[in-house]
Amino acid sequence: MILQRIPLHGQKTIEEGRSEKMARIYHKCHFCGGKVREKKVTVDYRWGEDLLTVFKNVPAGVCQVCGEQYYKAEIVKEMERSAKSKGKVKEFIRVPVRELHVA
């Protein structure tokens, strides 16, 4: 039996020795036209008024010029699933909450 790895839409397969790695493809930056490369970032994920989850090491396309961040749909879906889950939390942090009063 021969198995073939088929990349998801927007991904390509890169051969690295004997293993395969799926690289995400990003288009140029919508705002400045700069090159977008994948990096691991920290995301403050908010869902409504009551849920705030911090995710570390999230793969995101980051513009090399202006810093704009882009997330693939499967990454956003996984963050949403994980934020709403009752699974084990790695750590808790304290976050100050302030109101901004401007005239």
Instruction: Give residue 52's domain range.
Output: 11-84
Q: Which pLDDT value is given to residue 23?
A: 75
Q: What is the pTM of this model?
A: 0.72
Mean confidence (pLDDT) of the chain: 84
The answer to the question of residue 62 being in a domain is yes
For residue 91, being part of any structural domain is answered with: no
CATH of the domain at 32: 3.10.20
pLDDT of residue 48: 87
* Number of domains composing the chain: 1
Q: What is the rounded distance in angstroms from the CA atom of residue 52 to the CA atom of residue 27? A: 29
List pLDDT tens digits, range 28-77: 999 999 999 999 999 999 988 888 999 999 999 999 999 999 999 999 99
| Within-domain flag for 2 | no
Residue 21: what pLDDT?
Answer: 58
Residue 21 placed within a domain: yes
